[in-house]
Amino acid sequence: MNVGVLTSLYPGPPRPFEGVFAERRWTGMVGRGHGVRVVQPLPHTPGPLARGRWKEIAGFPRSEERKGIVVRRPRYWHWPGRDLANQRRFVKAGLAQLLGEGTPDVVVADYAWPAAGAAHPLAKAGVPFVVNGRGSDVLQVAGEAGLGDELAALLRTAGNWCAVSQDLVDAMDRLAGVPGRGYLVPNGVDFELFRPRPKEEGRRRLGLSPAGPLVLVAGHLIERKDPLLALEVFLAGAPPAAQLVFVGRGPLGTELARQVKARSLGDKVQLVGEVEPGGLADWYAACDVLLLTSKREGRPNVVLEALASGRAVLATAAGGTAELLAPHLGRMLATHRDPVRLGAMLADLLEDPPEPSVLREGVQHLSWDHSLETLERCLEQAREGTR
């Protein structure tokens, strides 16, 4: 099967860790004998607006080969605040590149917005199209961005959609008004990389003290992940000797650093920035608990990875997180966002952690082989028009 991938989220030299889960999916499909071409249209802004992250985006190469996949990055004009016009320009640039190199058997919007906008031209061209949802690309777009009607119409035109969690599949079904239409295609986890290891080994590799509990927060430092709540939970429940480490970057990093300094927490709280996946495996090994206080999620990879590593997780019941932690409701899964109550749950996990082998066994079925087999079935059904 020859697959065309239209996406706004894929790693590249300026942002090597952004969208690594998507790259893992498509390199896996190549490994299973499929042809994959990725097109990632990138925004180009008028001169006076081209500051900060826009300059970083400009550093992406227009074309490169990554792990056996050719990635093309045509540019399109992007004007902040003009969502629908920007979407149309994104799609025009992306499809000109994608279809100009040959018509794929199926095209996947591997991040629903803005790539779902390709539904109408692909339907006209008779090319099967699948919209894949990962989280904010559906929930935020249909919610805060106020584009639910537009996305719903695109889903109905595409006729095929999938998502990384059942919660998100159900949301896309409701949005399109077609119950039971969506397909669950969960991300997998690398069980060789993420495996139970002694805490002492992880801490030695990271140059950390072997003494005391370590609480890990891994992910973007953004509002929907709510790292500021994670800080309050740690302060409410962790014992005096405990350490808190934030792995990731984002706009709330500045405010976190300010609070750490203002509250004289420099000896207890670290912000270490982004790390590559192998380094993240060391952080899971070193920690006692992964703390996730998101307001909204698809199905967080960090929870999968921590459980595969045999580490306890304390998370709020956001989106697909509950699907992974439902057996641990009240112990590792909270249906509230109260920092004091979450702090008490954190203290309990640090005092009496679950058995690592039990945690790993609970996600053992979510291998990448399983994920890719499911994706193959979804794409085949779209190609054959049987779903």
Supply the DSSP symbol for 117. Answer: G
324/59 Cα distance (integer angstroms): 37
Q: Are residues 269 and 377 in the same domain?
A: no
- Mean pLDDT over 114-125 rounds to 98
- Mean pLDDT over 331-347 rounds to 97
Question: Could you give the number of structural domains in the chain?
Answer: 2
- Mean pLDDT over 184-198 rounds to 96
Q: Are residues 344 and 374 in the same domain?
A: no
Establish if 17 belongs to a structural domain: yes
Q: pLDDT-based confidence at 362, cuts 50/70/90?
A: very high
- Mean pLDDT over 372-377 rounds to 98
Q: pLDDT-based confidence at 376, cuts 50/70/90?
A: very high
User: What are the two backbone dihedrals, phi and then psi, of residue 212, each rounded to the nearest 5 degrees?
Assistant: 85, 155
128/16 Cα distance (integer angstroms): 30
Structure tokens at 63: 């074309």
Structure tokens at 89: 């320009």
Residue 146 belongs to a domain with what CATH number?
3.40.50.2000
18/23 Cα distance (integer angstroms): 9
pLDDT above 70 (res 131): yes
Q: Are residues 216 and 95 in the same domain?
A: no
Structure tokens at 157: 């035109």
Residue type at 319 in one-letter notation? G
Domain that holds residue 180: 2-188+367-384
H-run or E-run covering 271: strand 269-273
Tens digit of pLDDT for each residue in 256-274? 999 999 999 999 999 999 9
Q: Are residues 177 and 86 in the same domain?
A: yes
Q: Are residues 144 and 211 in the same domain?
A: no
216/238 Cα distance (integer angstroms): 12
Q: Are residues 167 and 29 in the same domain?
A: yes
Torsion of CA 346, 313, 166, 193, to 10 degrees: 170
Q: Are residues 55 and 125 in the same domain?
A: yes
Torsion of CA 276, 281, 283, 286, to 10 degrees: -160
